[in-house]
Amino acid sequence: MPHAAVRPIAKPRFAVLGAPVQVGASQLGTVMGPAALRTAGLITNLQELGHHIEDRGDLSASDFPTGNGQDRNARHFDEISAWSRGLSDHSYRLLQDGYLPIFLGGDHSLSMGSVHGALRHCAEAKRELFVLWLDAHADFNTPHTSPSGNMHGMSTALLCGEEGFDGLFDDDAFSPLPPQNLYIFGLRSVDRDERALLRNRGVHVCDMRQVDEFGVSVLMRQIIDHVEARDGHLHVSLDVDFLDPSIAPGAGTPVPGGATYREAHLIMEMLHDSGLVGSLDVVELNPFLDERGKSAHVLVDLVGSLFGRQIVQRP
């Protein structure tokens, strides 16, 4: 069978920005994630593919002022708010300047900011934003539903406009992500109230049952075709726990039964061929829990596949 046509696109300019936030999770260690990804060769691998890449270093919590505390079931709300506002501004400016931003985490709360900035950019460009959330978890809890209060489990709910996040962004004009533009892929752990919200909001969910039954190529082709038909900007948010813990043990919230090495690479190769990806998060890498850099190297390999590395060069 012939391969699907590869969209001819110019190579983007990349800007890499570290966001070593860890207060969104209960397990400490993701603060070391950006350094581990760089050490594993993320920058040099992209340069070897012929890409123009600028490493903008890491942001610091001290760059962003925090508030006076929030009385709600959302731990470190004000610190996350500060990170999110700063990351949104960086994401927006990089996209406006024509870069493809790559955000290195850090826990998954950083996507509140990176995706918010992409929403601002897409609103001005009059393009739809779509988000592919590669994760074992839906992260669709709110302060009202979360059993833990950890905000890395609330990112997609915030971005889709759920209640309980007043004051996180000082932005009355914020237009949330339509839930039908969110694709959660690889889900295998979800809380009861979170499950009900996902169903009621019409979020697209591809759990591991569907992956087992239909395969990643069929499911990814449906997503790619939908985004392409709408001329959308696709933001990919890759959580290390999307992968099976046997190949990526450096995750604070591991769940057995995740994507295999080849399934994950096929997803990245298909996304590259589509030419749709306009921004990327790589999150939740916890080097303290890793095995001799195993998870960091796998993530770097996946980013390479997403941006053009192939086993055999195809025309």
Q: What is the pLDDT of residues 239-259, one digit of tens each?
A: 999 999 999 999 999 999 999
Q: Does the pLDDT at position 162 exceed 50?
A: yes
- Residue 10 pLDDT: 67
Catalytic residue from among 78, 79, 107, 135: 135
Q: Does the pLDDT at position 67 exceed 90?
A: no
Work out the percent of the chain whose per-residue pLDDT is above 70. Answer: 92
Range of lowest pLDDT (40-49, 80-89, 133-142, 167-176): 167-176
| Stretch 157-174: mean pLDDT | 87
Residue 212: active-site member: no
Catalytic residue from among 79, 107, 263, 284: 284
Catalytic residue from among 79, 241, 244, 301: 241
Residue 284: active-site member: yes
For 13-306, the fitting CATH number among 3.40.190.10, 3.30.420.60, 3.40.50.10490, 3.40.800.10 is 3.40.800.10
Catalytic residue from among 90, 116, 121, 152: 152
| Stretch 34-46: mean pLDDT | 98
Q: Is the dihedral of CA 123, 184, 254, 308 positive or negative?
A: negative
pTM value? 0.94
Mean pLDDT of the chain: 93
Could you read off the pLDDT of 101-125 as tens digits, one per residue?
999 999 999 999 999 999 999 999 9
Euclidean distance between the first and final Cα of the chain, in Å? 15
Catalytic residue from among 121, 137, 204, 272: 137
Say how far apart CA 250 and CA 241 lie, in whole Å: 8
Catalytic residue from among 108, 121, 204, 297: 108
| Stretch 36-41: mean pLDDT | 98
Residue 152: active-site member: yes
| Stretch 65-70: mean pLDDT | 60
Label residue 97 exposed, middle or buried (CB < 10 Å: 0-12, 13-18, 19+).
Answer: exposed
Domain ranges of the chain: 13-306
Q: Does the pLDDT at position 8 exceed 80?
A: no
| Stretch 160-181: mean pLDDT | 89
Catalytic residue from among 139, 269, 281, 301: 139
Residue 160 near residue 111 (C-beta atoms within 8 A): no
Q: Does the pLDDT at position 64 exceed 60?
A: yes
- Residue 11 pLDDT: 79
Q: Is the dihedral of CA 138, 143, 144, 145 positive or negative?
A: positive
- Residue 104 pLDDT: 98
Q: Structure tokens of 235?
A: 């933001």
Work out the percent of the chain whose per-residue pLDDT is above 90. Answer: 88
- Residue 63 pLDDT: 79
Residue 241: active-site member: yes
Residue 108: active-site member: yes
Residue 62's pLDDT band (cuts 50, 70, 90): confident
Query: Where is pLDDT greater, at 64 or 73?
Result: 73
- The greatest distance separating any two alpha carbons of the chain, rounded to the nearest whole angstrom, comes to 60
Catalytic residue from among 78, 79, 239, 273: 239
Say how far apart CA 156 and CA 259 lie, in whole Å: 21
Residue 116: active-site member: no
| Stretch 216-231: mean pLDDT | 98
Residue 1's pLDDT band (cuts 50, 70, 90): very low
Q: Is the dihedral of CA 73, 79, 85, 89 positive or negative?
A: negative
Reference 297, options 45, 63, 75; nearest CA is 45
Q: Does the pLDDT at position 73 exceed 70?
A: yes
Q: Does the pLDDT at position 3 exceed 70?
A: no
Residue 313's pLDDT band (cuts 50, 70, 90): low
